[in-house]
Chains A and B, each alone.
Chain A
Amino acid sequence: MVTDRLRRYGTEHTEAAPLAVFRVLFGLMMLASIIRFGAMGWIDQLYVQPQFFFPYFGFEWVRPLSGWTYMIFLLCGLSSLSVALGYKYRLSIILFFLSFTYIELMDKTTYLNHYYFISLVSFLMIFLPVHATFSLDAWLDPKKAFQFIPRWTIDAVKLMLGIVYFYAGLAKLNSDWLFHAMPLKIWLPYHYDFPLLGELFQQSWFLYVFSWAGAIYDLMIPFLMINRRTRVLGFMMIVGFHMITGALFPIGMFPYIMIASSLIFFDSSLHIKIINSFLSFFKLDPKVFFNDKYQLHEQSLFNQSKLKLILLFFALQLLIPFRYLLYPGELFWTEEGYPFSWRVMLMEKSGKATFKVVDGQSNKWLYVDNTVFLTSFQEKQMATQPDFILTYAHFLKEHYEGEGWAEVEVYVDSFVALNGRISKRYIDPSVDLTKEKESFGHKTWILPFEDEIKGL
């Protein structure tokens, strides 16, 4: 029964227009993001100037290429434009995925959930017939133009978006968020001069309303958007929510990306209208794209393995956010299994880590002035994340060995404050970090949280 329905589902077709509009908006948003990133001077500040970078475990070989780093951004920008145009689409999206992901892997200091989201979506897009219509590829070679594409290809994008919202909602089901209104109780009162809402941000009850509304919003959005009757309401909520959070927090392009992406949930009639009005504006013949042609499901080996890959991709997406269950200790405190899980804006965490470097032979020691090696942004991220602390400790060992120190030991005196709790010692100060190795295992030298944040 179920397999029958699945098989039937696999052969269903739908208009290609929604995916095409999604591709155009996605490409343009990415182009804007890259231009904005460069215009802010961030390429230089984040990837050229720093003398040290925090690599991802297993991706130590991904490094900024000094001046050539600009070329990676250029490649990323050009390929996103090419994706928007649908020109040499497959090559463009692969280049985009690779260059964008490379940029993200260069330094985990800049990790953002929405960058991860973009990497995932662009990976997914490699396998989708996103250029079947309303693309230069289809325009130049009408043989490649299809009005109808397999339905699952559009649903895959919807599923990805749905996972992001729903998991972000699940992550909010914790005692700090729901029963202490943390960290909104810290963040929102600061915006006392926000138009209309500023006054309310000072009031405890409102902060709880905001927290609960946020959680319910995230959990509900996928369902509101799937359902035709609630879709307009859902979209209005998406616009309202992202505009408010965009005005409150420094989240850059993210609100616009989410708003534009959510258009894919709408009926294809909307997207056809968009495409048609574009075509008629430029007096182009719509028949090239609306050619009544179906892109068939090929039973080729390649296609079969492609489908399996996408199923595996989604299985991983569903599982990865729960990997934290494999670690002991409080997730928010140790951050073991924290990233890549749609845990967005859940923590106000800040810390200070002072490293003591000891020459084991002469017993000479010093405290490291972090500003010598790290940018202030890197120092901030490092101070609250054990994997950063470990990487940096090993860097210090090498650095001081280079200065002629012998049998170098590195200890850290660190304090972290989490969601309004008074700062407490974070890492065991008696542990010589040079003896510890990075792995996916639990880091035993993180001191216990001695409190509990209940929930998912």
Chain B
Amino acid sequence: MKYRLLLVLSTFLIFGCETNDGDDTNDGFDRTAMLTNWADNLIIPAYNHYYDELTKLDEAKDAFVTDQSEVNLQTLRTSWKEAYKAWQWVGMYQIGQSESIYLLGFTNTFPADAAQIENLIASGEYNFELPTRMSQQGFPALDYLINGLGADDAAILAVYQGDSGASYVQYLSDVVDRLLNLTSQVVDNWNQGYRETFIANSGSSKSSAVDKLVNDYISYFEGHIRKAKIGDPAGVFTGVKDPNTVEGFYQSDIAKSLFLESLKASKAFFNGEYFDQTGSGESLFSYLKYLNTIKETEALEELINEQFDLAEQKSSALSDNFSEQVVLDNTLMLETYQELQRNVVFMKVDMLSAMSIAVDYMDNDGD
């Protein structure tokens, strides 16, 4: 009798799982729909926009190469600003081609190494593909070349018109060409099949597109927004504030707008908002919302959005000029850092945990 009971119990254990009486059905979250939304409504449009802005930058550069006039310098500067802003919307998508060519590192490693840039210009020989050349190209290098060579436009133009002016023009031109070239590879890749690969990789593993991109997204938020844009100038990791490390250092009034742009881009990605048009689709927000219906826990997705807003509010009081802000009142920078840090915790600890996505740790056994 006892054994029969055990047998019945264990049969229930083994086969009980397969009886599905239909109620309480949950269709599951559509990861493919999320990936499709990301690709079609966020990533590809943002890259296209960025590429358009780079094309304008390239045209402005061509004009400047032909004629180093003050007007051409100013147009070049304007298009540099616009392209730099557009970059803030794609920086976090380090997946596929952009990952394999290190787009992020070659595009926006700051601060620029001005001394080394001068060396390269003087020698006239440089290979931008070397990893050691990251801080001598991209937007920070352009910043130096169009804002940092002199105290005002006249002084800057004097460099381009001086004895070694041609080398400076050449270097400037090469930096812009490199940006355009790298980005065109990424855009082409998305248009020539990577979109489909990306969407099809909807499985659940460390190498799946969702796991990968979410990791990229959070590490970008943590390392490039929280740390590089705010933490490093505020001296959070060294104990010594460093006004020279702000993004767009030579264009003194741009750091805040670049930061806010990247913050907006992060929030938009989280909510799956279409790039440059109204509407939104499946996203981390809706994914969390779905998971909460299984777990009946607190609305993490709301907390994360509130924290994005808090960070934005806190930073609204910052000066446009972060270098100045750091020197005059670092407290506000540190407070902004703290608000960003709180969202790192919400995303990296709570969200990854809720989604059961492993951080890019080495693979290892667990139990």
- Report which A residues bind B (CB closer than 8 A): 40, 42, 45-46, 110, 112-114, 182, 185-187, 189-194, 197, 199-200, 202-207, 209-210, 213, 216-217, 220, 223-224, 227, 229-230, 233-234, 236-237, 240, 249-254, 344-345, 348, 350-352, 354, 357, 359, 364-369, 375-377, 380, 413, 415-417, 420-423
Contacts and interface: CB of A to CB of B under 8 A. Distances in A.
Contact of B295 (A185, A192, A205): A185
> What are the 9 tightest A-B residue pairs by CB atom distance, in nearest-first order?
A366-B239, A190-B356, A252-B365, A202-B28, A415-B345, A112-B367, A350-B353, A376-B361, A213-B13
Contact of B367 (A209, A254, A366): A254
B178 to A, nearest CB: 29
B31 A377 contact: no
A354 B349 CA distance: 13
Contact of B204 (A193, A345, A421): A193
B132 interface: no
A348 B356 CA distance: 9
B365 A422 contact: no
Interface in B229-273: 231, 235-239
Interface string B350-367: 101111110111111111
A416 to B, nearest CB: 7
A368 to B, nearest CB: 7
A187 B367 contact: no
Nearest to B235: A366
Nearest to B366: A250
B114 interface: no
B6 A224 contact: yes
A434 to B, nearest CB: 17
Contact of A422 (B9, B27, B303, B360): B303
Contacts of B352: 350
B144 to A, nearest CB: 26
A353 to B, nearest CB: 10
14 contacts: A112-B367, A192-B31, A192-B204, A193-B203, A202-B28, A210-B17, A224-B10, A350-B349, A352-B345, A357-B239, A359-B239, A366-B235, A369-B237, A422-B350
A146 B24 CA distance: 60
Nearest to A227: B3
A227 B2 CA distance: 11
B349 A204 contact: no
Given A190-B357, A217-B13, A376-B362, 19 more contacts: A110-B364, A189-B28, A194-B204, A200-B20, A202-B294, A203-B24, A213-B13, A213-B17, A220-B10, A224-B10, A237-B14, A250-B363, A253-B365, A345-B367, A350-B352, A354-B341, A377-B361, A413-B341, A423-B345
Contact of A42 (B291, B303, B364): B364
B3 A229 contact: yes
Contacts of A354: 341
Interface string B8-46: 011001101100100011111101000000000000000
B239 A365 contact: yes
Nearest to A36: B365
Nearest to A112: B367
Interface residues of B, number: 55
Nearest to B20: A200
A243 to B, nearest CB: 13
B298 interface: yes
Interface in B101-118: none
Contacts of B29: 189, 192, 202
Most buried by B among A193, A236, A240, A417: A417
A318 B17 CA distance: 33
A254 B202 CA distance: 28
B194 interface: no
Nearest to A109: B364
A195 B237 CA distance: 47
Nearest to B365: A252
A417 B353 contact: yes
B366 A249 contact: yes
A199 B28 contact: yes
Nearest to A203: B26
Contact of A237 (B10, B26, B346): B10
Nearest to B299: A422
A364 B238 CA distance: 10
Given A250-B365, A350-B349, A216 B344 contact: no
B354 A420 contact: yes
A395 B226 CA distance: 26
B13 A417 contact: no
B7 interface: yes
Contacts of B348: 352
A416 B345 CA distance: 9
A186 B202 CA distance: 18
Contacts of A250: 363-366
Contact of A205 (B24, B237, B238): B24
A2 B249 CA distance: 85
B365 A112 contact: yes
Contacts of B298: 421-422
A87 B168 CA distance: 76
A205 B22 CA distance: 11
A376 B349 contact: no
A426 to B, nearest CB: 10
Nearest to A384: B349
Contacts of A350: 349, 352-353
Nearest to B3: A229
B300 A422 contact: yes
A245 to B, nearest CB: 10
A367 B340 CA distance: 14
B297 interface: yes
B349 A213 contact: no
Contacts of B16: 209, 213
Most buried by B among A112, A114, A202, A364: A202
B353 A348 contact: yes
Contacts of B350: 417, 422-423
A64 B238 CA distance: 30
A430 B338 CA distance: 16
Most buried by A among B31, B297, B367: B367
A364 B241 CA distance: 11
A367 B56 CA distance: 41
Given A224-B6, A237-B10, A380-B361, A204 B294 contact: yes
